[in-house]
Protein backbone atom coordinates (compact mmCIF):
# COMPACT_ATOMS: atom_id res chain seq x y z
CA UNK A 1 0.00 0.00 0.00
CA UNK A 2 1.02 3.60 -0.55
CA UNK A 3 0.49 6.62 1.69
CA UNK A 4 -3.10 6.99 2.81
CA UNK A 5 -3.53 3.20 2.63
CA UNK A 6 -3.96 3.35 -1.13
CA UNK A 7 -3.67 -0.13 -2.75
CA UNK A 8 -0.83 -0.30 -5.28
CA UNK A 9 -0.18 -4.04 -5.60
CA UNK A 10 -1.43 -4.21 -9.20
CA UNK A 11 0.52 -1.08 -10.17
CA UNK A 12 3.66 -2.53 -8.57
CA UNK A 13 3.24 -5.74 -10.57
CA UNK A 14 2.64 -3.85 -13.79
CA UNK A 15 5.69 -1.66 -13.23
CA UNK A 16 7.79 -4.78 -12.61
CA UNK A 17 6.61 -6.28 -15.91
CA UNK A 18 7.41 -3.11 -17.84
CA UNK A 19 10.88 -2.78 -16.31
CA UNK A 20 11.62 -6.42 -17.18
CA UNK A 21 10.42 -5.93 -20.76
CA UNK A 22 12.38 -2.72 -21.27
CA UNK A 23 15.59 -4.31 -19.97
CA UNK A 24 15.33 -7.61 -21.81
CA UNK A 25 13.38 -6.91 -25.02
CA UNK A 26 13.98 -3.22 -25.63
CA UNK A 27 10.88 -2.72 -27.83
CA UNK A 28 10.99 -0.03 -30.49
CA UNK A 29 7.31 0.81 -30.01
CA UNK A 30 4.60 -0.07 -27.52
CA UNK A 31 0.95 0.68 -26.84
CA UNK A 32 -1.32 -0.09 -23.87
CA UNK A 33 -4.90 -1.01 -24.71
CA UNK A 34 -7.72 -0.74 -22.18
CA UNK A 35 -11.27 -1.95 -21.67
CA UNK A 36 -13.87 0.67 -20.81
CA UNK A 37 -16.65 0.39 -18.21
CA UNK A 38 -19.41 1.19 -20.71
CA UNK A 39 -21.35 -1.67 -22.38
CA UNK A 40 -19.73 -2.88 -25.59
CA UNK A 41 -21.36 -3.70 -28.91
CA UNK A 42 -21.19 -7.37 -27.86
CA UNK A 43 -23.40 -6.65 -24.86
CA UNK A 44 -25.88 -4.95 -27.16
CA UNK A 45 -26.03 -8.05 -29.36
CA UNK A 46 -26.06 -10.58 -26.50
CA UNK A 47 -27.43 -9.36 -23.19
CA UNK A 48 -25.94 -12.29 -21.23
CA UNK A 49 -22.39 -11.48 -22.38
CA UNK A 50 -20.14 -11.60 -19.28
CA UNK A 51 -23.28 -11.35 -17.12
CA UNK A 52 -21.87 -13.84 -14.61
CA UNK A 53 -18.84 -11.71 -13.79
CA UNK A 54 -18.95 -9.78 -10.51
CA UNK A 55 -18.15 -6.05 -10.64
CA UNK A 56 -14.47 -5.17 -10.37
CA UNK A 57 -13.51 -4.24 -6.80
CA UNK A 58 -12.90 -0.56 -6.11
CA UNK A 59 -9.26 -1.18 -5.15
CA UNK A 60 -8.65 -2.60 -8.65
CA UNK A 61 -10.59 0.10 -10.47
CA UNK A 62 -8.53 2.83 -8.83
CA UNK A 63 -5.33 1.11 -9.96
CA UNK A 64 -6.58 0.65 -13.52
CA UNK A 65 -7.12 4.41 -13.62
CA UNK A 66 -3.64 5.01 -12.17
CA UNK A 67 -2.12 2.59 -14.69
CA UNK A 68 -2.67 5.21 -17.39
CA UNK A 69 -0.23 7.48 -15.55
CA UNK A 70 2.27 4.65 -15.22
CA UNK A 71 2.20 3.94 -18.95
CA UNK A 72 2.62 7.64 -19.61
CA UNK A 73 5.72 7.65 -17.40
CA UNK A 74 7.16 4.89 -19.59
CA UNK A 75 6.32 6.85 -22.74
CA UNK A 76 3.62 4.37 -23.75
CA UNK A 77 0.47 5.76 -25.36
CA UNK A 78 -2.83 4.31 -24.16
CA UNK A 79 -5.90 3.64 -26.29
CA UNK A 80 -9.51 3.03 -25.30
CA UNK A 81 -12.96 3.81 -26.62
CA UNK A 82 -16.48 3.34 -25.23
CA UNK A 83 -18.27 0.41 -26.85
CA UNK A 84 -15.07 -1.54 -27.55
CA UNK A 85 -12.79 -3.87 -25.62
CA UNK A 86 -9.03 -3.92 -25.38
CA UNK A 87 -9.15 -7.08 -27.52
CA UNK A 88 -10.65 -5.08 -30.36
CA UNK A 89 -7.72 -2.66 -30.29
CA UNK A 90 -5.22 -5.52 -30.02
CA UNK A 91 -6.65 -7.13 -33.14
CA UNK A 92 -6.77 -3.80 -34.98
CA UNK A 93 -3.16 -2.99 -34.15
CA UNK A 94 -1.98 -6.48 -35.07
CA UNK A 95 -3.71 -6.36 -38.45
CA UNK A 96 -2.53 -2.84 -39.18
CA UNK A 97 1.14 -3.23 -38.32
CA UNK A 98 1.83 -6.80 -39.44
CA UNK A 99 1.96 -5.49 -43.01
CA UNK A 100 5.19 -3.70 -42.10
CA UNK A 101 7.96 -6.06 -43.26
CA UNK A 102 10.29 -4.82 -40.52
CA UNK A 103 7.81 -5.26 -37.66
CA UNK A 104 7.41 -8.15 -35.27
CA UNK A 105 4.34 -7.81 -33.08
CA UNK A 106 4.34 -9.26 -29.57
CA UNK A 107 0.99 -9.25 -27.79
CA UNK A 108 1.53 -9.38 -24.03
CA UNK A 109 -1.67 -10.60 -22.40
CA UNK A 110 -3.25 -13.21 -20.20
CA UNK A 111 -6.23 -13.58 -22.56
CA UNK A 112 -5.96 -16.69 -24.72
CA UNK A 113 -8.64 -15.36 -27.09
CA UNK A 114 -5.81 -13.46 -28.76
CA UNK A 115 -4.27 -16.72 -30.04
CA UNK A 116 -6.51 -16.34 -33.09
CA UNK A 117 -4.31 -13.38 -34.09
CA UNK A 118 -1.06 -15.36 -34.21
CA UNK A 119 0.50 -15.22 -37.66
CA UNK A 120 3.67 -17.25 -38.10
CA UNK A 121 6.45 -15.51 -36.22
CA UNK A 122 5.30 -12.04 -37.32
CA UNK A 123 2.48 -11.83 -34.76
CA UNK A 124 2.97 -13.81 -31.55
CA UNK A 125 1.28 -13.88 -28.16
CA UNK A 126 3.32 -13.82 -24.97
CA UNK A 127 1.33 -15.05 -22.00
CA UNK A 128 2.24 -15.23 -18.34
CA UNK A 129 3.11 -18.75 -17.30
CA UNK A 130 4.29 -18.23 -13.74
CA UNK A 131 3.88 -14.90 -11.99
CA UNK A 132 5.58 -12.12 -13.93
CA UNK A 133 8.94 -13.84 -14.21
CA UNK A 134 8.08 -16.69 -16.57
CA UNK A 135 6.22 -16.31 -19.87
CA UNK A 136 5.42 -18.53 -22.83
CA UNK A 137 5.39 -17.28 -26.42
CA UNK A 138 2.81 -18.65 -28.84
CA UNK A 139 3.63 -18.72 -32.53
CA UNK A 140 1.91 -21.01 -35.06
CA UNK A 141 3.84 -24.03 -33.83
CA UNK A 142 3.14 -23.42 -30.14
CA UNK A 143 -0.60 -22.94 -30.77
CA UNK A 144 -0.61 -26.21 -32.70
CA UNK A 145 1.24 -28.03 -29.94
CA UNK A 146 -1.22 -26.86 -27.28
CA UNK A 147 -4.52 -27.07 -29.16
CA UNK A 148 -3.78 -29.22 -32.19
CA UNK A 149 -5.17 -26.45 -34.39
CA UNK A 150 -4.01 -23.53 -36.48
CA UNK A 151 -4.47 -20.03 -35.00
CA UNK A 152 -7.19 -19.15 -37.51
CA UNK A 153 -9.21 -22.14 -36.26
CA UNK A 154 -9.37 -20.84 -32.69
CA UNK A 155 -12.51 -18.81 -33.50
CA UNK A 156 -14.26 -21.99 -34.66
CA UNK A 157 -12.96 -23.86 -31.61
CA UNK A 158 -14.48 -21.29 -29.25
CA UNK A 159 -17.72 -21.33 -31.26
CA UNK A 160 -18.03 -25.07 -30.69
CA UNK A 161 -16.92 -25.37 -27.04
CA UNK A 162 -18.15 -21.98 -25.87
CA UNK A 163 -16.37 -19.60 -23.52
CA UNK A 164 -17.49 -19.78 -19.86
CA UNK A 165 -15.37 -16.74 -18.95
CA UNK A 166 -17.53 -14.63 -21.28
CA UNK A 167 -20.76 -16.55 -20.52
CA UNK A 168 -20.96 -17.77 -24.12
CA UNK A 169 -22.46 -21.23 -24.55
CA UNK A 170 -21.04 -23.73 -27.00
CA UNK A 171 -22.70 -26.57 -28.89
CA UNK A 172 -24.32 -29.05 -26.48
CA UNK A 173 -22.35 -32.28 -26.22
CA UNK A 174 -19.19 -30.89 -27.83
CA UNK A 175 -16.18 -30.53 -25.57
CA UNK A 176 -12.56 -29.58 -26.33
CA UNK A 177 -11.54 -33.00 -27.71
CA UNK A 178 -14.57 -33.37 -29.98
CA UNK A 179 -14.23 -29.79 -31.21
CA UNK A 180 -10.56 -30.33 -32.02
CA UNK A 181 -11.29 -33.60 -33.84
CA UNK A 182 -14.08 -31.99 -35.88
CA UNK A 183 -11.95 -29.03 -36.88
CA UNK A 184 -9.02 -31.24 -37.79
CA UNK A 185 -11.31 -33.24 -40.04
CA UNK A 186 -13.55 -30.54 -41.50
CA UNK A 187 -11.48 -27.38 -41.09
CA UNK A 188 -14.15 -25.00 -39.79
CA UNK A 189 -17.66 -24.75 -38.34
CA UNK A 190 -18.93 -24.23 -41.88
CA UNK A 191 -17.12 -27.41 -42.90
CA UNK A 192 -18.82 -29.32 -40.09
CA UNK A 193 -22.24 -28.10 -41.28
CA UNK A 194 -21.50 -29.08 -44.87
CA UNK A 195 -20.45 -32.57 -43.76
CA UNK A 196 -23.42 -33.08 -41.44
CA UNK A 197 -25.71 -34.55 -44.09
CA UNK A 198 -23.08 -37.12 -45.10
CA UNK A 199 -22.14 -38.23 -41.58
CA UNK A 200 -24.93 -39.66 -39.37
CA UNK A 201 -22.95 -38.81 -36.25
CA UNK A 202 -23.19 -35.13 -37.20
CA UNK A 203 -26.90 -35.15 -37.96
CA UNK A 204 -28.50 -31.79 -37.14
126-146 pLDDT per residue, tens: 998 877 778 899 999 999 999
Residues 6+ apart with CB under 8 A from 158: 113, 168, 170
Q: Are 50 and 105 in contact (CB under 8 A)?
A: no
For β-strands 77-79 and 105-108, DSSP reports them as unpaired
Q: What is the pLDDT of residue 159?
A: 93
Contact 121, 138 (CB under 8 A): no
3-state secondary structure of 84: coil
Work out the number of other CB atoms within 10 angstroms of the CB of residue 134: 8
Q: Indicate the average pLDDT of the chain.
A: 91
- pLDDT averaged per 10 residues, the chain (length 204): 87 92 91 94 89 87 94 96 96 94 93 94 90 86 95 95 91 92 93 79 59
Q: What is the pLDDT of residues 57-67, one digit of tens each?
A: 888 999 999 99
Measured distance between the N- and C-terminal CA atoms of the chain, rounded to whole angstroms? 57
pLDDT, position 195: 83
pLDDT of residue 129: 83
Residue 94: per-residue pLDDT = 96
Amino acid sequence: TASGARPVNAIYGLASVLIKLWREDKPDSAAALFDRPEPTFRKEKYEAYKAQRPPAPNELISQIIEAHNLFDAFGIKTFEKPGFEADDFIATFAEKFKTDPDAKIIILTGDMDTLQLVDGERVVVRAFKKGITETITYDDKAVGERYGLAPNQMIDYKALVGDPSDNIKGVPGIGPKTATDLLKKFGSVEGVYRAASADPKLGI
